[in-house]
Chains A and B, each alone.
Chain A
Amino acid sequence: MSGSQDVATVTQARLETTASRLRELVAHLRHQRAQLREEWARLITEAKLLTAMTKEEIFAEATSVYDNYVEALETGTYEALQAYARNLSERIIPRGVETHEVVGIVLLLRDVLARSLFATYHEDFNKLNRILDAYEPAANRIAATVAVGFVQERERIIREQQEAIRELSTPVLQVRERLLILPIIGVIDPQRARQLTEQLLRGIRTNRAKVVVLDITGVPYIDSPVANHLVQTVEAARLLGATVIVTGLSPEIAQTLVNIGVDLGKMNTVGDLQGGIEEAERLLGYKVVLMQESVAQSA
C-alpha cells in the first residue's frame, strides 16, 4: 500500500520538476528569440531548404513557427501548432516545397535550440542533462506534428488533384438542347469506369438529356469487366429515359463486347462521332439537311 503511494509521490515529483524545467527552457527561448530565430533562418538558407521562397518569406514563417513551437513547449498542447502546420503546408505546397524540406527545417530548429541549451548550461552538466531530458520528447513530438501535418495536407491536395484530373478526363459536353457528348480518350480502368457512369447518369438528369453520344474512338481497348460496366451504364441511362449511342467502336472492342454476350444489334452503335451526332439529331426530331441540298434549294 505505502509502496504504491511512494511511487505516486515520486512520479508526481518528477512531473513537477519536468514542468519547472520546461518553464525554465521556455523562458530561455523567449529571451533568446531574436537571435535564435535569426540563426535558424540563416541555417535554412545555407542548407538550401525552402528554395522556392524568398529570404523575407522564410524569416516571416520562421518567426511564426518559432513562436508556435515555444507555445507548444509551454502549454503541452499541439492543436495550435497543428493548425499552423496545416495552414503553412496549404500555402507552400502549391509552390513546390517538398516533404524533406519541411522535415529538414524542423530538425534544424531542434538542433539550433539544443545547441543554445548546450551553450547556456555547459558548465552545469547535470542541469543540462535534465533540461535536455525534458526538451527532447517535446521537441520530437513537435517535429512529428509539423511533418505529419504537412504530409496529410499534401495527400489531401494530391487526392483533390487526382479527382479533378479524372473529372476532366471524361468531359460531358452539351452540344445542343437534350444532347450530350462524352468523348472518352485513353484507357478506362475500373475507377474511371465508375466515374464515367456517375457523370453520364448525373449529366442526363441535370441537362435533361434525351440522347447521349458516347464516343470511344480514343479508347484503345477494354477488358471484359469494363465492357460489362459500359453495357450496364447504357442500360441505366435507358432507365432514366435517355438513349445512348456508342460511336467509334473498334473491331477489338466490338469483339470484347460480343465475347461477354452483348447483342450488338440491340445496342445503338454508329461508326463515327459525326454519324452518331446525326443519328442523335434524328432521334431528337431535328431534320438533318445536307449542306449541298440546302444550297441547291436556295439557288
Chain B
Amino acid sequence: MQVPILKQGAYLIATVQSALTDEDLKQLRDTLVLQVSKVRARGVIVDVTALDVIDSFATRTLRDVAYMIRLRGAETVIVGIQPEVAFSMVKLGLTLEGVATSLDLEEGLAYLDRKAKAHEREVRAHR
C-alpha cells in the first residue's frame, strides 16, 4: 500500500489511506526522509486519520521518522490520531514522547507555520 506524499509549499504531506504493514511503514519512513532532503522541506505532516491501529512497531517507526527528519533540520507533526487509537496506544505504553501531534491537517499546518515563525525570529535575533 503506497502512501501518497504531496508537496505543499515548504511542507510535505503524507496521507495514510488504509492499514499499513510493517513493510509499508518502513517504506514510508525511508521515502519521507529521502524526500525531505531532496525538496528541502521545512516540515512534514503525517496524516494517520485512516489508521485504526497504531501499535508498538508503528509508533516506533513514526517516532523514528520525526527524529530522522529533525536531524535534517525539519519539523514533523503527526495528525489525525483517533480517540480509540490514542487510548489503546497509551494503555500499551506508547506516548510518542518528543513528537508533535495535532488534531487534523489544518491544525498540523498551523503548528508548522508557528514553528517556522518562531524559527525566523530566533535566526534574526542571532544576526
Classify A-B as touching or not with yes or no (CB < 8 A).
yes
Task: List the interface of chain A (C-beta within 8 A of B).
Answer: 197-198, 201-202, 204-205, 208, 210, 232-233, 235-242
A235 to B107, CA, bound (A): 18
**Which A residues are CB-close (under 8 A) to B118?**
none
Report the nearest B residue to A234, measured CB to CB: B90
Contact at B87–A197, with CB atoms within 8 Å? yes
Q: Is B83 an interface residue (CB 8 A)?
A: yes
> Smallest CB–CB gap between B46 and chain A, Å?
13
A236 to B89, CA, bound (A): 8
Contact at A201–B86, with CB atoms within 8 Å? yes
**Which A residues are CB-close (under 8 A) to B103?**
204-205, 208, 210, 240-242
Chain B residues 68-127 with CB under 8 Å of chain A are 79, 81-84, 86-87, 89-91, 95-96, 101-104, 107
Of A201, A235, A239, chain B has the most CB atoms within 10 Å of the CB of: A239
Contact at B83–A198, with CB atoms within 8 Å? yes
**Which A residues are CB-close (under 8 A) to B102?**
241
22 A–B contacts, CB within 8 A, in A order: A198-B83, A201-B84, A201-B86, A201-B87, A205-B82, A205-B103, A208-B107, A210-B103, A210-B107, A232-B87, A235-B95, A236-B87, A236-B89, A237-B86, A238-B95, A239-B90, A239-B95, A239-B101, A240-B81, A240-B83, A240-B103, A241-B101
> Smallest CB–CB gap between B85 and chain A, Å?
8
> Smallest CB–CB gap between A112 and chain B, Å?
56
Chain B residues 9-56 with CB under 8 Å of chain A are none
**Which B residues are CB-close (under 8 A) to A205?**
82-83, 103
Contact at A204–B83, with CB atoms within 8 Å? yes
Contact at A235–B90, with CB atoms within 8 Å? yes
A273 to B15, CA, bound (A): 38
Question: Known contacts being A198-B83, A201-B83, is A240 close to B101, with CB within 8 Å?
Answer: yes
Of A197, A205, A236, A241, chain B has the most CB atoms within 10 Å of the CB of: A241
A242 to B87, CA, bound (A): 14
**Which A residues are CB-close (under 8 A) to B104?**
208, 241
Of B89, B90, B91, B101, chain A has the most CB atoms within 10 Å of the CB of: B90
**Which A residues are CB-close (under 8 A) to B95?**
235, 238-239
Report the nearest B residue to A231, measured CB to CB: B90
A222 to B82, CA, bound (A): 27
**Which B residues are CB-close (under 8 A) to A242?**
103
A239 to B61, CA, bound (A): 15
A208 to B90, CA, bound (A): 21
- Partner of B89 from the list A198, A233, A239 (CB cut-off 8 Å) is A239
**Which B residues are CB-close (under 8 A) to A237?**
86
